[in-house]
Amino acid sequence: MIDKKKVRPADGVMYGLIYLSAIFVVLLLLGIIGYVLYRGISVVSWDFLTGVTSVLKGTTGIAGNIVNTIYIILLTMLIATPIGVGAAIYLNEYAKPGKLVTIIEFATQILSGIPSIIFGLFGMIFFGQTLKLGYSLLTGALTMVLMVLPLITRNTQEALKTVPEGYRQGAIGLGSGKWYMIRTILLPCAMPGIITGVILAIGRIVGESAALLFTAGSAHLLPDGFTEFLSKAFHSGGTLTIQLYLSMSKGQYDIAFGIAVVLLVIVLLINFATKLLAKKFDVNKKV
Amino acid sequence: MKKNTVSIKSGKQSKAARAFSENLAKNCFLFAAVVAVLAVLSIMLYMFLKGTPAFFKVGLNEILFETEWRPAAKENPSFGILYIILTSVAGTTLAIMLGVPLGILTAVFLTEVAPKKLAALVQPAVELLAAIPSVIYGLLGIIILTPWMYKLEKIIFEDSETHQFTGGANLISAVIVLAIMILPTVVNMSVSAIRAVDDKLKSASLALGATKIQTIFKVVLPAAKSGIMTGIVLGIGRALGEAMAISLVSGSSVNLPLPFNSVRFLTTAIVSEMSYASGLHRQVLFTIGLVLFVFIMVINLVLTKMIQGKEKNT
């Protein structure tokens, strides 16, 4: 009989290593989440989330950082989404294969490979100094726009590619202009993909630190009133990750772990949301 | 004219107005697409503008090939960044050597070995590892990794008189953090490369009597080589550019990259000194940024060549 394969001891060793690697990865993740929760969960309280750190009052809180984070997310996405989606539409719907497309796609790829600290340096000297915006939430947001642009462009492109060619021809054949067709047919069809890109971009902003340290600064106070909230764009403001970094540099590990818990929860939510969207996307594709 | 473009919804607009709005839309999209190109060009321009002046003031050789880093000294400051460059190269290489085998084996597990249900558990874990902010890796590095390293250091260098104790913030700590951080990249790229391998190759190998393990390591992985290499190059880029996660675990002085030395990477030198640097010191920090940028561009070019090569093969 030949169905009995020769047992090779080396095979067993390799199986062992393969399983060990997978187990290591899972344990690593569980360990990270577990340890952060263990150290940080007791720090997180209503006062911690809604208060502001003040030496005078002896309070610690991250409300200011939460506001700054949301501020940068909104500003960045407001600018980056139209540009990123527009770029994807141009590449997919208008451009004919040629030099320009190659250059744009190459640039997008390079942009996604540049480390965040380089973005930080560039943002600091270009938006901060040349455009005289200084250390401000706007400088940080503009820097983040460049960083998340490839993410949005690529996700939108993928989504546009899944829209059947017949939809386009049908719309054009019925007398629609191209722009009308894009607005009423393509964009709604590609919406799940666009939203996925936006959510991934938000995740990137929430986790970003090096690029924001040099551009958005580190202030942690809450804006006082609505007008100050609006003018906040031109003032320095540190996001949650920046505050985490500063806290751990100063050895305030309790605060650092408290913020880490908040960040982990956000990251988990974002991961969950993209999963949900991906599922919905799949259903759409089959119809 | 503007009124007409708005009335497009009614569908009664004139031909000219319609052509105008079509053109406007097209040009807007074109502009959006060119933003990425403009961004890359201006980043290049600014990195060179800010990074090169120090070369003329201090000298190319004095910066790139000298080892002494005393940028803030009042008398005779020196700006040799050779050790910093070597640290980044050595740190990245070691992280790759540690992270890549682990990543490939995990990818093999996900694609070839694990039952579907088990793979469905491990896959999300990999995705989540990629999503965890780098500062959290840094925080855990300081709290968990460095105390262990310090204990190890105390045992190894117990009798050494020349060793400077680092408290555990050394090259190894940084390498471990980096290896963990590149893991998801390597796993994901390897998984898609392995999935793309033709099933016929596998069947043929198994039919010839090779065991499953032999098939995986002698047939599947070689066939998936180019995709896996792309993952490794991406990982190199990620490790080279990582700053915040390793800025506190790698130590705070510039040294030759030996395992238990306190070291500075290209990235961590910028992060930790930019806040107080001024004058020439600041310019040299931008030069360090330029060196990092050049490294990254080279890696990007390699990557593009690899992807193009792969497209040609298929």
Percentage of chain B beyond pLDDT 90 is 64
Residues B165 and B267 in one domain: yes
Say how many domains are in chain B. 2
* Residues B40, B63 within the same domain: no
Count CB pairs under 8 A between chains A and B: 244
Q: Which of B14, B105, B116, B136 is the mutation pick for testing A, counting most A CBs within 10 A?
A: B136
What single letter denotes the amino acid at residue B157?
Answer: F
DSSP state of A251: T
A149–chain B nearest CA distance, Å: 8
Confidence band for B133, pLDDT divided at 50, 70 and 90: very high
**Which residues contact residue B103 at a Cβ distance below 8 angstroms, ignoring those fewer than 6 apart?**
B182, B183, B185, B186, B187, B190, B231, B235
Q: Is the pLDDT of residue B159 over 70?
A: yes
Considering the domain architecture, whether residues B40 and B94 belong to the same structural domain is answered as: no
Residue B177 Cα distances to A203, A255, B174, angstroms: 21, 22, 5
Question: Do B72 and B119 fall into the same domain?
Answer: yes
Please check whether residue B30 touches A, CB under 8 A.
Answer: yes
**Which residue, among B4, B12, B29, B234, would best test binding to A if mutated, counting the most A CBs under 10 Å from its CB?**
B29
How far apart (Å, rounded) are the C-alpha atoms in residues A115 and B241?
A: 5
Tell me, what's the ipTM? 0.89
- Give the range of the structural domain holding residue B127, as residue numbers without chain letter: 58-313
Owner of token pair 């007791």: A42
Model confidence pLDDT, tens digit, residues B48-93: 999 999 999 888 888 888 888 888 887 888 898 999 999 999 999 9
pLDDT for residue B7 is more than 60 = no
pLDDT of residue A286: 44
CB contact under 8 A, A118 and B241: yes
Interchain contact, B270 vs A91, CB within 8 Å:
no
- Quick one: A51 exposed, middle or buried, by C-beta within 10 A (0-12, 13-18, 19+)? middle
pLDDT tens-digit series, residues B180-195: 999 999 999 999 999 9
Q: Is B259 exposed, middle or buried (0-12, 13-18, 19+ CB in 10 A)?
A: middle
Are A90 and B30 in contact, with CB atoms under 8 Å apart?
A: yes
CA neighbor of B135 nearest in space, from A119, A167, A114, A257: A257
| B50 part of contact set with chain A, CB < 8 Å | yes
d(CA B200, CA B222): 15
Q: How far is B75 from chain A (nearest CA, A)?
A: 28
Question: Residue B314 pLDDT > 80, yes or no?
Answer: no
Helices (H) and strands (E) in chain A, counts: 13, 2
Domain boundaries, given as residue ranges, for chain A:
1-40, 46-286
Cβ–Cβ gap A207/B132 under 8 Å = yes
Per residue in A209-247, pLDDT tens? 999 999 998 888 887 777 777 788 888 889 999 999 999
- Do A108 and B304 meet the contact criterion of CB atoms below 8 Å apart? no
Question: How many angstroms separate the CA of residue A217 from the nearest CA in chain B?
Answer: 11
Instruction: Indicate yes or no: CB of A149 within 8 angstroms of CB of B35.
Output: yes
pLDDT at B312 (0 to 100) = 65
If asked whether residues B158 and B174 sit together in one domain, one would say yes
Give yes or no for B40 touching A (CB within 8 A). Answer: yes
> Which residue in B29, B46, B237 is closest to A122 by CB distance?
B46
User: What's the CATH code, domain A46-286?
Assistant: 1.10.3720.10
Same domain, B37 and B64: no
pLDDT at B11 over 60: no
Mean pLDDT of each 10-residue bin along chain A, 287 residues long: 64 92 95 95 89 78 91 95 95 89 91 93 93 92 96 93 90 88 91 91 93 88 77 88 92 93 94 85 53
Residue of chain A whose Cα is closest to the Cα of B115: A19
Chain B residues within 8 A of A111 when measuring between CB atoms:
36, 39-40
Q: Quick one: how far is CA B163 from the chain centroid?
A: 31
**What is the reported pLDDT for A157?**
93
From the list A130, A114, A134, the residue with the least C-alpha distance to B44 is: A114
Residues B230 and B189: beta-carbon distance below 8 Å: yes
pLDDT at B206 over 90: yes
B33–A149 CB contact, under 8 Å: no
Higher pLDDT, B159 or B87: B87
pLDDT number for residue B8: 45
Output the pLDDT for position B5.
47
The answer to whether the Cβ–Cβ distance between A32 and B106 falls below 8 Å is: no
One-letter amino acid of B109: F
* Integer angstrom CA distances of residue B200 from A5, B197, B205, B223, B225: 20, 9, 8, 12, 17
Residues B186 and B269 in one domain: yes
Please judge whether A149 and B50 are an interchain contact, meaning their C-beta atoms are less than 8 angstroms apart. Answer: no
Contact B205, B219 (CB under 8 A): yes
Q: Are B160 and B259 members of one domain?
A: yes
Window 266-285 of B, Cβ < 8 Å to A: 267, 270-271, 274
The mean of the pLDDT values for chain B is: 89
Residues B46, B64 within the same domain: no
Regarding whether B135 and B36 lie in a shared domain, the answer is no
Q: How far apart are CA B266 and CA B291, in angstroms?
A: 8
Report H helices in B157-278. Answer: 171-195, 199-207, 212-215, 221-223, 225-241, 244-247, 266-273
CB contact under 8 A, A248 and B46: no
Mean pLDDT on B292-301: 93
Phi first, then psi: give them for residue A54, nearest 5 degrees.
-145, 125
| pLDDT the model gives residue A77 | 96
Residue B2: pLDDT above 80?
A: no
Best residue in A19, A20, A114 for a mutation probing chain B (most B CBs within 10 Å): A114
B111 and B63 co-located in one domain:
yes
Comparison of pLDDT for B5 and B105, the residue scoring more: B105
- Show the CA angle centred on residue A156, arms to residues A154 and A158, nearest 5°: 70
Residue contact A26–B143, C-beta within 8 A: no
Residues B90 and B108 in one domain: yes
**Which CATH number fits the domain that encloses residue B113?**
1.10.3720.10
